[in-house]
Amino acid sequence: MSDDPKRETLSRELLKRAVVTRFTVEEVVIVPIFAVIVALILGGITMLATGVSLGTIQAAFGSLFTGSLGSISALSETLTAAAPLTLAGLGIALGFRAGLFNIGAEGQLLIGGMAAVVVGFSLTGLPLIIHLPLALLAGALFGALWASIAGWLRAATGAHEVITTIMLNLISFRLVDYLLRSPWIQRPGRADPISQSVLESAELPRLLLWIDTNLRLHAGIFVMLAAVALIYWLLFRTKLGFEFRSAGANPDAARYAGMRSGFLIVAVMAIAGALAGLAGANQVLGVLGRASPNFSAGIGFDAIAVALLGRGHPIGVLLAGLLFGALEAGGRQMQVSAGVSIDLISIIQALIIVFIAAPMLVRTMFPWAFQKERPADKGASRAPPSQPASEESG
Amino acid sequence: MDIELRGITKRFGEVVANSNVNLTIRAGEILGLLGENGAGKTTLMNILSGLYRADEGEILIDGTPARFDGAGDAIRAGIGMVHQHFMLVPVFTVAENVVLGVEPTGRFDRLDIEKAREQVRQISAEYGLEVDPDAIIEEIPVGIQQRVEIIKVLFRSAYVLIFDEPTAVLTPQEVTEFFAIVRSLRDAGKALVFITHKLHEVREVADRISVLRAGQIVGEGDPKTATDADLAEMMVGRQVRFEVEKEPVQPGDVLLDVSDLNVLDEREEMAVNDVALQVRAGEIVGIAGVQGNGQTELVEALTGLRPLLRGRVSFLGEDVTQASARRRHQLGMAHIPEDRQRSGIIGEFNIAENMVLNSYYDERFSSGPTLRWLDVYQQTAANVAAFDVRTSSIFDHADHLSGGNQQKLVVARELSRDIKLLVASQPTRGVDVGSIEYIHKRIVEARDSGVGVLIISTELDEILSLSDRILVMFRGRIVAEFDGDKATVNEVGLAMAGVTAEQAA
Amino acid sequence: MAVSEAAIGAKDIEISRQRQTRIVGGLLLVLAVFVASVFGFGSAGEGDAAFRLTRPNDPFALPNIVVPAATYSYVIAAVLAFFGIRLFMRGGARWSSLLLGLGFLLAVTAFLAWATAGKSFSLTGMLQATFVRAVPIALGGLAGVLSERVAVINIGIEGMLLAGAFTGAVVGSLLGGVGGIVAAICVGGLFGFILAALVVTYRVDQIVAGVAINLFVLGVTSYVSSQVLTEFRFLNNAPVFRAIYIPFLSDLPVIGPVLFRQNIFVYGALILVAISTYYLFHTKSGLRARSVGEHPEAADTLGIDVYWTRYVNVTMAGMVAGFGGAWFTLGTVGRFDEGMTGGRGFIGLAAMIFGRWHPVGALMAALVFGFADSLQQKLAILQTPIPSEFLAMAPYVATIVLVAGLIGRARPPAADGKPYIKD
């Protein structure tokens, strides 16, 4: 009898989607845009402060643009730089969603890259169709294993992943130094730590050689896109993703709901490590062709910024990765043609993190761009993991 | 010293916590401030003790307006507050806690801990509040901790003492002791404010009662003449049924059989000690006890969330001692956790996600590795309607629901499927009276339909009104069992304090 | 009746606690086997190890300590095995952590004997280097203690050290060493203040803020270094502080060179550790600071300004780190190189954890890490077959083992890492 009104409410309620508030739009769109602009301006001020002339600064910003978007070659460089940043950033973002702060992408990237190199030069006589996937797989697998150490420690003993991943990073630096000097990896005839070269059958094929043989864009870009799609599907469409997000938003509630928190922690770290390992494999198989000390070049740390800027969302991470790739590529051009050190880019990236993580700071600086009153929102002040968790569950 | 609050209004965003509140506190008098959860009692007292600043209105001390910019100002004005959750640093000693903020010092900012001890001893002696100044807070019992809180306030020469829900963590006997302390403080000329939602306590100890509802003072009462019903009506704004209507019990088969259960707590100390109990189909078994006597660990052990040290748990005749929480859930065990904010819901998830939080993996909502969100939404909408969760959309964040509606969401999640046993821990804590009645009704309905119910509550009233059978837990043991119809407050209260029948006689 | 039941319960608990003792016992046994097979067997026939304590022209000359390397290693292995078996069989949980530490120390001496077998080697020199190398770690750890005691996790120590190193070099080049130190302290304090502002006022996640500070300082110092310092070399040529000999005390054998022939940074670190200990545990302000780290709500209700306390302490932590950073340039080489702190700030964090959030503990841990660091340098000279990379990893591995609680868990301040939000 009471079914009719009930059904009515039911359908009415079903139709009512959560209204996207102005506040959310501000947090997700306006704050990041302002963060990037302010960081660029502060970069300019830094140049001024170090005695770079106005003309040169103009040239620097000009080449930052042309070097990233101004030509086919610039675009190729941007995409090439974006691939590892996005891959590793996805892993870190996944960690944020699941409540884990994985600072260890740098180390996971190194270990994964080393594994990919070893597979890349040691297996001879395989066709590309087998050798390349094997090398990529080795990168992902070893990245995952390395990250799982931190995950397992967290799950089994409660050791905080921030500390353990920092330590694992430092260990991986030494370990790679050691491996690069060991006779079965070091290139014959060399005294410095450098690995043998990856065989052609394990290289990620260059894509734009038909336009210009100098274009470095390689098939890693497809790995990146596949990873973005896969992580999106995982987070918002699968049971495992639901568990990740639950454990991240409220680990106690997740445990009470019967989710296996230990398994989830290890799984998240393993997937994040696999993505970082793929980023490393992407570098050695697609760009460098071999491993040398510090071939990770800080990508694992920049990826933290990418994940934050992307607000922990796969699409956001992709956009942030492209932006950072553009900064990287433009920065190189800037160094060459304007004579401004590429380290300026690190300053800009660090400032972007600060402004993203401190939306209140941006709001204070540009009060005219935002609504006056922010709604009373209990969860809004919690930093990275507190993304609007349910926006994508549709 | 008299204190007058005049026209106090406090808003949090769009929520008005206090609206035009007028209140007078007089020396040598105990004022009972009565109100249900969320009525704005604590906010009001936080304004008085300088932690919050009122948006409108003023505080007059002996007729002079006072302005508090922080807790320090209120303390200097002689106002001290004993918070519901004790404000004691667990790793500090009693003396360190007492002097914190007004420390006796020597040269080079040196903390004169010897003097601090002496001062603590003095106050202990003066007011008959016995404590060891060198004891570490986390190592002493709650009753003593409360004593330290009182000493702390007295040490700051407070004339006005505010107690926020002071009896929540005490046994009935400790409550009696506590009332004696309060009365002696009044006789010493202090002004006291006693904040509570427990009617009989305020009638027992207060000299004057003010009732707060939805942020406003709605009435005053004289403890000598007012009845529980009068006060409750004032507090809730309508008539309240105290009795839960239920049919006589018709117990069926044993559903849950626990024997020889031993469980450790986080500090690796014995929290549950040789507990044995049974729950039958169609009966409500209530576990009474003061907070912290092993109830949390018992529930977690029964629901598969905490490993056992020893013992056996069987459910529906199956040995589930080693079974995971998920397995027990699948067998038909439902669990309403004691702290919904912490472990019952996920605030930043929407209602639909919360509704399937522990059944998302079920065939109803998923196929293979993926979730079928449309089915989730259908079911959620049905449950929300059926369990009277007040919300405009199932895509609203659970955060945005009131405490009562959050709890109804949890109840809906647990009762909306086919279950055999319900383990309900503090099912109505921090919930408004309307929701309490509703939740109690649904629990009794479940029991009438043949579900076995185990209720764990520190609210003796709740246990007495719902249970068919009452077990009392004290220091990890089941120390007494009563028939639900015959048990009296006094008997159960004594058992909760660990006094056995023989000792009482 | 009740008593016996309780006793059974207590016994069950006891069993669960004994497991840890067994782990330690097992570790000691493994260590014993390792010492015997690698160091004992490895140095058989290699001859004696000679450890020099003093130089021949020192006022109080001591003879060398000469140890038969193989025999010594076997003896140590036997001792380790004895305690390992004892712990494994009989328990005795109270002493297990201590025994493990002692066991490692003994194993290290056996290692030294093995590495030095047939050669000679200056023990005093290495201890002296230990103190020098411990300085930035100890000061980094101390900075960690000061900020985590008010519940602010400080990942940014690495950046603060780097900022101090950079400022020390540049200002030191212009104004001399003292000016360099003062400037380094100020800049370190500035970054401490920035961290406090970010996490306290702007509620940035503490880890994010620390990571951002590290990246920012690395970026700025590298940028200025390559943009400016390569062009104006005189800006990167600072005087180095020489050792100050304390009269008489510096002439003592062993102790003299180790403790009393050091530069201002070693003395400074020791004094700062002493002052911090006094401040945190014996003063009014220290009590208040710790209450903010343990229970900020309680502190707030007592009129203690939580935000102010955090600002002050984190800024002080930054100043300490800035001073420690100056060591890299003004205490050693006098010039700044990009990223020259090389993770010492993170080891400082590890030292803080090892030291259980106590200044003296952090110093002790820093000395252990400094010892490992200087040992690594010596290994190259002694030409041992163990790759120095593995020794360099040891502190990190040890830290992981510690935070995993395999050998007793350290307890951080209760509110550590949590923002305090009023209203």
Q: Do C287 and B96 touch (CB under 8 A)?
A: yes
Which of chain A's residues have a Cβ under 8 Å away from the Cβ of B323?
Answer: none
Separation in Å, CA of C93 to nearest CA in chain B:
15
Answer yes or no: is A361 within a domain: yes
Q: Kindly state whether A362 is in contact with chain C, defined as any CB-CB distance less than 8 angstroms.
A: no
Instruction: Kindly tell me the sign of the dihedral angle through the C-alpha atoms of A23, A27, A28, A30.
Output: positive
A 210-249 residues inside an 8 A Cβ radius of C: none
Cβ-defined contact of C207 to A162 (cutoff 8 Å): yes
CATH superfamily of B254-504: P-loop containing nucleotide triphosphate hydrolases (3.40.50.300)
Is the Cβ of A59 closer than 8 Å to some Cβ of chain C? no
Best CA proximity match to B392, nearest among A70, A140, A9, C331: A9
Given this model, what pLDDT does residue C410 score?
A: 62
Helices (H) and strands (E) in chain A, counts: 16, 0
Compute the distance between CA of residue B35 and CA of residue A291 in angstroms, rounded to an integer.
70
- Return the minimum-mean-pLDDT range out of A207-216, C4-13, C109-118: C4-13
d(CA B464, CA B483): 10
pLDDT on residue C104: 82
CA–CA separation, A336 and C362 (whole Å): 46
Domains of chain C: 16-118 (no CATH), 130-403 (1.10.3470)
Which helix H or strand E contains A13, and what residues bound it? Answer: helix A3-15
Question: What CATH number did the domain enclosing A106 receive?
Answer: 1.10.3470
| C-beta atoms of B270 and C301 within 8 A | no
List of chain A residues whose C-beta atoms are within 8 Å of the C-beta of residue B355: none
Contacts of B102 in chain C (CB under 8 A): 302
Q: Are B352 and B380 in contact (CB under 8 A)?
A: yes
Contact status of B81 with chain C (Cβ, < 8 Å): yes
Per-residue model confidence as pLDDT tens digits over C260-315? 889 999 999 999 999 999 999 999 999 999 999 999 999 998 989 999 999 999 99
Any CB–CB contact under 8 A between B83 and chain C?
A: yes
Does residue A227 have a pLDDT over 90? yes
Whose tokens are 């950072």? That residue is A324
Distance from CA of B366 to the nearest CA of C (A): 35
pLDDT (0 to 100) of residue B261: 94
What are the structure tokens assigned to A4, written together? 């009719």
Whether residue A388 and residue B348 make contact (CB cut-off 8 A), yes or no, is yes
For residue A45, being part of any structural domain is answered with yes
Q: What percent of chain C has pLDDT over 90?
A: 43
Q: Which of A138-142, A312-316, C41-45 has the lowest mean pLDDT?
A: C41-45
Range with the lowest mean pLDDT among A18-27, A107-116, B107-116?
A: A18-27
A204 touches chain C (CB under 8 A): no
Which residues on chain A are in Cβ contact (under 8 Å) with C222? 341, 343, 346
Q: What subunits touch chain B, counting only 3 or more CB pairs under 8 A? A: A, C
pLDDT tens-place string over residues A154-204: 888 888 888 899 899 999 999 999 999 888 898 988 888 899 999 999 999
pLDDT number for residue B112: 93
Cβ contacts (< 8 Å) between A249 and chain B: which residues? 346-349
The 3 state secondary structure assigned to B417-456 is: CCCCEEEEECCCCCCCHHHHHHHHHHHHHHHHCCCEEEEE
- Tell me what pLDDT residue B284 has: 95
Asked if B75's CB is within 8 angstroms of C414's CB, the reply is no
Are B392 and A16 within 8 A, CB to CB? yes
* B439-482 tens-digit pLDDT: 999 999 999 999 999 999 988 888 988 999 999 998 899 999 99
Q: Of B24, B76, B74, B39, which is closest to residue B53 (Cα–Cα)?
A: B74
Q: Is residue A12 part of a domain?
A: no
Structure tokens at C360: 């003296």
User: Are residues A300 and A104 in contact, defined by beta-carbon separation less than 8 angstroms?
Assistant: yes
Q: Is it the case that residue A6 has pLDDT exceeding 80? A: no
Among the partner-chain residues A153, A343, A383, the one whose CB lies closest to the CB of C219 is: A343
Task: Provide, rounded to the nearest whole percent, the portion of chain C with pLDDT above 70.
Answer: 91
**CA distance, residue C399 to nearest chain A CA (Å):** 8
Does A91 have pLDDT greater than 70? yes
What pLDDT sits at residue A20?
58
Do residues B354 and A386 lie in contact, with contact meaning Cβ atoms separated by under 8 Å? Answer: no
Query: Residue C248 burial (CB < 10 Å; 0-12/13-18/19+)?
Result: exposed
Name which of C12, C284, C304 to mutate to probe chain B: the one with the most chain B Cβ atoms within 10 A of its Cβ. C284
CA angle centred on B359, ends B353 and B361, rounded to 5°: 100
Q: Is residue A247 part of a domain?
A: yes
**Which residues on chain B are in Cβ contact (under 8 Å) with A386?**
348
Which of the other chains make 3 or more beta carbon contacts under 8 angstroms with chain C? A, B
Cα–Cα distance, C281 to C298 (Å, whole number): 18
**Calpha distance C125→C55 (Å, rounded):** 10
CA distances B191 to B2, B24, B32, B224, B370, Å, are 8, 10, 11, 19, 62
Q: Decide if pLDDT at C9 tops 70.
A: no
Mean pLDDT value across residues C334-359: 90
A14:B347 CB<8 A: no
Chain B residues lying within 8 Å of A11, measured CB to CB:
381
In sequence order, the 6+-apart residues with CB closer than 8 A to the CB of C416 are C148, C151, C153, C293
- Predicted pLDDT of residue A5: 60
Nearest in space to B459 (alpha carbons), one of B143, B34, B167: B167
DSSP state of B70: S
The answer, yes or no, to whether residue A238 has pLDDT greater than 70, is yes
Task: Provide the 3-class DSSP secondary structure of residue B166.
Answer: coil
Q: Which residue of A has its CA nearest to C338?
A: A343
- C405–A158 C-beta distance less than 8 A: yes
Give the helix/strand (H/E) hosting B145.
helix B142-155
> Hey, is the C-beta of A343 within 8 angstroms of any chain C C-beta?
yes
Average pLDDT for residues C5-19, to the nearest whole number?
A: 50
Residue-wise pLDDT for B244-303, tens only, equals 778 888 888 999 999 999 998 877 788 999 999 999 999 999 999 888 889 999 999 999
Query: Is the dihedral angle over the CA atoms C206, C210, C211, C212 positive or is it negative?
Result: positive
| Total-model pTM | 0.86
DSSP letter assigned to residue C423 = -
| A374/C contact by beta carbon, under 8 A | no
Is residue A376 pLDDT above 50, yes or no? Answer: no
CA C312 to CA C111: how far, in whole Å? 45
The yes-or-no verdict on residue B339 having pLDDT over 70 is yes
**Which one of A10, A12, A24, A97 makes the best mutation probe of the B interface by having the most chain B beta carbons within 10 Å?**
A10
Distance CA A69, CA C286 (A): 55
Q: Containing domain of residue A167, as a range?
A: 23-202+214-369
CA of B266 vs chain A CAs: smallest distance (Å):
13
Q: What would the pLDDT profile of A17-72 be if each residue is shown by its tens digit?
A: 655 566 677 777 888 888 899 999 999 999 999 988 999 999 999 999 999 999 99
Q: How far away is chain B from the Cα of A93, in angstroms, using its nearest Cα?
A: 17
pLDDT at B41 (0 to 100): 86
Residues in chain A closer than 8 A to B349 (CB atoms)? 245-246, 249, 389-390
pLDDT at C325 over 90: yes
Tell me how far apart the alpha carbons of residues C87 and C133 are, in angstroms, rounded to a whole number: 35
Please name which of A229, C221, A254, A158 lies closest in space to residue B342, comparing C-alpha atoms. A254
Residues of B in contact with A18 (CB under 8 A): 350, 393, 395-397
In chain B, where the domains are located? 3-236, 254-504
What is the reported pLDDT for A385?
36
Query: What is the arithmetic mean of pLDDT over A124-145?
Result: 95
The stretch A240-255 carries a mean pLDDT of 93
Does the CB of A344 have a partner CB in chain C at under 8 Å? Answer: yes
Q: Which of B358, B385, B395 sits opposite A9 (nearest CB)?
A: B385
Q: What is the mean pLDDT of chain C?
A: 86
CATH architecture entry for B3-236: 3-Layer(aba) Sandwich (3.40)
Q: Is the pLDDT of residue B72 over 60?
A: yes
Q: Which of B353, B360, B370 is nearest residue A390 as measured by Cβ atoms? A: B353
Q: What is the pLDDT of residue A16?
A: 61
Residue A364 CA, distance from chain mean position: 28
Q: Is B109 on the interface with C (CB under 8 A)?
A: yes
Q: What are the chain A neighbours of C391 within 8 Å (beta carbons)?
A: none
Question: Residue range B390-401: average pLDDT?
Answer: 85
Tell whether B14 lies on the interface with A, counting CB pairs under 8 A: yes
> Looking at the 3D structure of chain A, how many domains does it have?
1
> C408, C97 in Cβ contact below 8 A?
yes
pLDDT at C231: 87
User: Residue B212 in contact with residue B39, Cβ under 8 Å?
Assistant: yes
**Sequence-distant (≥ 6) Cβ neighbours of residue A4 within 8 angstroms:** none
Distance between CA atoms of residues A84 and A81, nearest Å: 7
